[in-house]
A and B are shown apart, each in its own frame.
Chain A
Amino acid sequence: DVVMTQSPLSLPVTLGQPASISCRSSQSLVHSDGNTYLNWFHQRPGQSPRRLIYKVSNRDSGVPDRFSGSGSGTDFTLKISRVEAEDVGIYYCMQGTHWPPTFGQGTWVDIK
């Protein structure tokens, strides 16, 4: 299975400041169809995960533009330009290129 490795695993941030999470895969996530199926999810405590970003850099409907995704191949990043209180929770990267889809360990983002 493809191993997804996130860093850091814990990220205390100051409100209004930027935050960045790295995700690396053990294999290239470029599919034979040319797409790179790398998603980012956010899970608030006690809630189910919600997808924020799909195919590396596409924001889902309703996701604020302070969230952005980038990367290619095996190296990916989620950035929050200015952290707000509602952004606390766990962020997961997930690859869908290879079966089975696999997730990173999660990055816990909280407010300092």
Chain B
Amino acid sequence: EVQLVESGGALVQPGGSLRLSCAASGFTFSSYWMSWVRQAPGKGLEWVANIKEDGSLQNYVDSVKGRFTISRDNAKNSLYLQMNSPTAEDTAVYYCVRGGGRGVSDPWGQGTLVTVSS
């Protein structure tokens, strides 16, 4: 069974930093683009970033460029999102998604909540 399990969500102060992780199982992780998608409380969905199978290419939505970094460790079947200098607008549930958005875009993990507040 394909599974994605996120962790690392927490309360973080504006200007701080946080690292999210996603543990993947049930499929050949190194063969898929992977992504992070977020959903602010009571709001819609926003694709944050994606990363190529071998980690050689990353894409970011403009609102996080220069602050967030997506990375992966194929030996550990893990995806990461390093969040630097977050603001209140980054408060959301962050989902790990198999796929880059164009082709595969399923399944999604259960999500991890990030709250940015002082």
Contacts and interface: CB of A to CB of B under 8 A. Distances in A.
A20 interface: no
22 contacts: A37-B102, A37-B103, A39-B105, A48-B109, A48-B111, A49-B45, A49-B108, A50-B106, A50-B107, A50-B108, A92-B44, A94-B45, A96-B101, A99-B59, A100-B47, A100-B61, A101-B101, A101-B105, A103-B44, A103-B45, A106-B44, A106-B45
Interface residues of B, number: 18
Interface of A is mostly: loop
Contacts of B44: 92, 103-106
A96 B101 CA distance: 5
Interface residues of A, number: 22
A39 B103 CA distance: 10
A54 B110 contact: no
Most central of A31, A97, A103, A106 by chain B CB within 10 Å: A103
Contacts of B95: 48-49
Contacts of B100: 96
A60 B104 CA distance: 11
Contact of A31 (B47, B61, B102): B102
Contact of A92 (B45, B61, B111): B45
Q: Which of A41, A49, A94 has the most CB of B within 10 A?
A: A49
B24 to A, nearest CB: 15
Q: Which 10 A-B pairs have the closest CB atoms?
A: A101-B101, A51-B106, A96-B102, A101-B47, A48-B108, A103-B45, A96-B101, A100-B61, A100-B47, A37-B102
Interface of B: 44-47, 59, 61, 95, 100-103, 105-111
A61 B95 CA distance: 21
Interface of A: 31, 37, 39, 41, 48-51, 54, 60, 92, 94, 96-97, 99-106
